[in-house]
Amino acid sequence: MANADADEAPLLSVEHLRPGSCSRELELREFRDRYVIRSLDGAAAFAVLRSGGSIRPLSPEEAVAESDCKVSRIYGVVGTIRLLAGSYVLVITSQKDAGSYLGSPVYQVNSMKFLCCNEAIKHLTPQERRDEAYFMSLLRIAETTCGLYYSYDRDLTLNLQRASKLAAGRVHKPLWKQADPRFVWNKNLLEELIEAKLDEFIIPLIQGNIQKMIVPCHCLCIYLSAQFTLKDRPVRITLFSRRCNRRLGTRMWRRGANLEGATANFVETEQLVEYEDLTSSFIQLRGSIPLLWEQIVDLSYKPRLSIIEHEETHKVVQRHFHDLSQRYGKIIVADLTDKRGDEGDLSNAFAAEMDRIPGVRYIHFDFHHVCRGGNFDNLQALYNQIEEAIHKQGYFLMNTKGEILLEQSGVVRSNCIDCLDRTNVTQSFLARKSLDSQLQLMGALLSSESISLSDNIHDTFKKLWVEHGDELSLEYAGSYALKGDLVRYGRQTLPGLIKDGMSALSRYYLNNFHDGVRQDALDLISGYYTVSQGSSSPFHNGVDSSSYLPVASAIIVGGITATTFTLSQVGRNAQHLISSIICAGLTVGVVALVKANGKQFCSRPRLCGLI
């Protein structure tokens, strides 16, 4: 697999990959005029002034010079963000153990809070105060971000193949200097800490989730682990997914690519297998179709897709695949979208662009058509087309001495529309095929054996991928993944249908009535929107039209109720018929108004555009 550090001297030993540690134990001291954060397992400390948020390093003596303050334990400094009235410092207030990764403890963020350094708010204009209040509400949303993980002494952003080639000198640098910036969730928030040279406090966070299956482990975006025994020796499997931050966002408000070629819901998934003195790694990718397109919510269950005509479209596709080729080598694209309707139009446009991209193999596989009826095994038809190429790409293999035995020379990039449900089913199928090959080469299985021969092992592996899909879906769509039964059982079940129905309703509600604000919070935290003094308010248009939806809904419900009641009274008094007609007409009129203006009644982001 291509590596930006390949020309530097590689460090082979896994043990030597341990980076310089960050402070594990921190104390927060809250004074009337400042906050002081100091390391309990080191000598570093710094102060943040409440008046404006300026940061000043402190000596150990200065950090404990006064005792008239509130003292509490914190577990990390996520970073800072500057708004109109000053700075806000985000700290980790509680954590929980999430297992380990390559011998280093991994932790999950349990709760966070912003420390306010905004005393200048009294000098703001009324409009600026209103803007600051909205920005602060977005920070409160950011405080509740789930699925954030970190390690104090291990970089979680690099897959094993890239980490094994990390230059010896770079290994001993601070964690943030080792990390791949694409996968650091708090990249934008770290800037002031980096400028202040507070390396001991700078912790790169990974967004994701860790599901512990027998043996816990951890990762950037998603980290699931299972352990079982073959030939009386333990085998450990870990799914490690990394979500890219270059087009961070929610399901309906971040589709396709931006002009730089970064795509929405781009995730690198690594399947790690550990057996005796060997560790192997198999990488897959997922990401939105790298065209300029949108799907604006309008209260309908499935809004229309729209391809944005732009002179840069082909260059966007080129940039995307050039970047992937540089990082991963040969690329196989598995497009799982429908061949009809809006999806078909988008798929055809994608195929036309791929015809102009040399060196990348594109395969369209109509998942819904081929696997109709929930027949998961029909994915074998896709595998038959790419089996030879996947074997050539291989996977990464190294021993405990750090000696690299094999390298992965390419990846499969899968996509559907959301890159969630169909994509997860397909990736789980390819991962199982790779797992058999990995275990056979490592000596855990004979060449004629498969994990499918053991119901317990196979079921554990499938459960691993179901949980994996659910967590990725929660991050992007706000609900559990659909089609989990296809991964777990190879067919659809009644409980699975009920779960899918509930997830679909949850997606509908969140996408239409909540995700606009959540997108604003993500744009603010990730730095895609920068707050600056003197710039015009992003909220100058007044009240968001979505706030009128409850009123319209109340009128509709009231109209239906009144119509029903008056119709029931028609037999007693003919005048009720006229009332029924008036109420019904009013109700129909309001329904038509809402339907015609569905986009305006939905929650929409107010800070950034779609591209």
Going by the DSSP 8-state scheme, the letter that residue 135 receives in this structure is H
For residue 533, being part of any structural domain is answered with: no
User: Are residue 245 and residue 145 in the same domain, yes or no?
Assistant: no
Q: Which one, of 432, 447, 438, lies nearest residue 406 by Cα?
A: 438
The pLDDT value given to residue 7: 35
For residue 532, being part of any structural domain is answered with: no
Going by the DSSP 8-state scheme, the letter that residue 451 receives in this structure is G
User: Are residue 149 and residue 246 in the same domain, yes or no?
Assistant: no
For 55, how many CA atoms within 13 A lie in the half-sphere containing its CB?
Answer: 24
The pLDDT value given to residue 563: 66
* pLDDT per residue as tens digits for the range 321-348: 999 999 999 999 999 999 999 999 999 9
SS3 583: helix
For residue 22, being part of any structural domain is answered with: yes
Contacting residues for 387 by C-beta, under 8 A, at least 6 apart:
433
Query: At residue 228, does pLDDT exceed 70?
Result: no
Confidence of residue 6 (pLDDT cuts 50, 70, 90): very low
Confidence of residue 9 (pLDDT cuts 50, 70, 90): very low
User: Are residue 88 and residue 223 in the same domain, yes or no?
Assistant: no
Q: Give the bridge partners for 38, in sequence order.
A: 27, 45
For residue 245, being part of any structural domain is answered with: yes
For residue 59, being part of any structural domain is answered with: yes
Q: What is the pLDDT averaged over residues 578-589?
A: 74
User: Are residue 101 and residue 118 in the same domain, yes or no?
Assistant: yes
8 A C-beta contact, residue 395 and residue 406? yes
Confidence of residue 10 (pLDDT cuts 50, 70, 90): very low
Picking from 201, 232, 267, the residue at the C-terminal end of a domain is 201
Residue type at position 246: R
Q: Which has more confidence, 396 or 10? A: 396
Distance, in Å, from the CA atom of 135 to the CA atom of 607, rounded to the nearest integer, reads 10
Region of 143 (left: φ > 0; alpha: ψ -120 to 50; beta: rest) is alpha
Picking from 523, 555, 574, the residue at the C-terminal end of a domain is 523
Residue type at position 514: H
Picking from 150, 172, 201, the residue at the C-terminal end of a domain is 201
For residue 609, being part of any structural domain is answered with: no
User: Are residue 509 and residue 465 in the same domain, yes or no?
Assistant: yes
- Angle at alpha carbon of residue 165, lines to 159 and 166, rounded to 5°: 85
Residue type at position 105: P
Count of helices and strands (H, E) across the chain:
18, 22
Q: Which has more confidence, 368 or 7? A: 368
Q: Give the bridge partners for 306, in sequence order.
A: 294
Q: Which has more confidence, 217 or 60? A: 60
User: Are residue 185 and residue 111 in the same domain, yes or no?
Assistant: yes
What's the mean pLDDT when you consider all of the chain?
A: 85
* pLDDT per residue as tens digits for the range 526-559: 999 999 888 888 886 544 555 555 665 666 666 6
- Residue-by-residue DSSP string for 387-443: HHHHHHH--EEEETT--EEE---EEEEEE-SSSSHHHHHHHHHHHHHHHHHHHHHTT
Distance, in Å, from the CA atom of 144 to the CA atom of 388, rounded to the nearest integer, reads 45
Distance, in Å, from the CA atom of 444 to the CA atom of 276, rounded to the nearest integer, reads 9
Considering its fold, how many domains does the chain have in total? 3
For residue 5, being part of any structural domain is answered with: no
Q: Is the pTM of this model over 0.95?
A: no
User: Are residue 432 and residue 294 in the same domain, yes or no?
Assistant: yes
CA 347 to chain centre: 24
User: Are residue 315 and residue 347 in the same domain, yes or no?
Assistant: yes
**Phi/psi at 54 (5° precision):** -65, 145
**Phi/psi at 297 (5° precision):** -65, 140
* pLDDT per residue as tens digits for the range 447-474: 888 888 777 787 888 888 988 888 899 8
User: Are residue 212 and residue 165 in the same domain, yes or no?
Assistant: no
Residue whose structure tokens are 């000043």: 56
Question: What is the domain extent for residue 165?
Answer: 15-201
User: Are residue 437 and residue 581 in the same domain, yes or no?
Assistant: no
For residue 594, being part of any structural domain is answered with: yes
- Residue-by-residue DSSP string for 264-322: TT-EEEEEEEEETTEEEEEEEEE---SS-EE----SSSSPPPEEPP-TTHHHHHHHHHH
User: Are residue 181 and residue 212 in the same domain, yes or no?
Assistant: no
Q: Which has more confidence, 408 or 576? A: 408
Q: Which one, of 438, 429, 445, 539, lies nearest residue 488 by Cα?
A: 429
The pLDDT value given to residue 580: 72
Confidence of residue 301 (pLDDT cuts 50, 70, 90): confident
User: Are residue 519 and residue 581 in the same domain, yes or no?
Assistant: no
Q: Which tokens is 398 given?
A: 């190294």
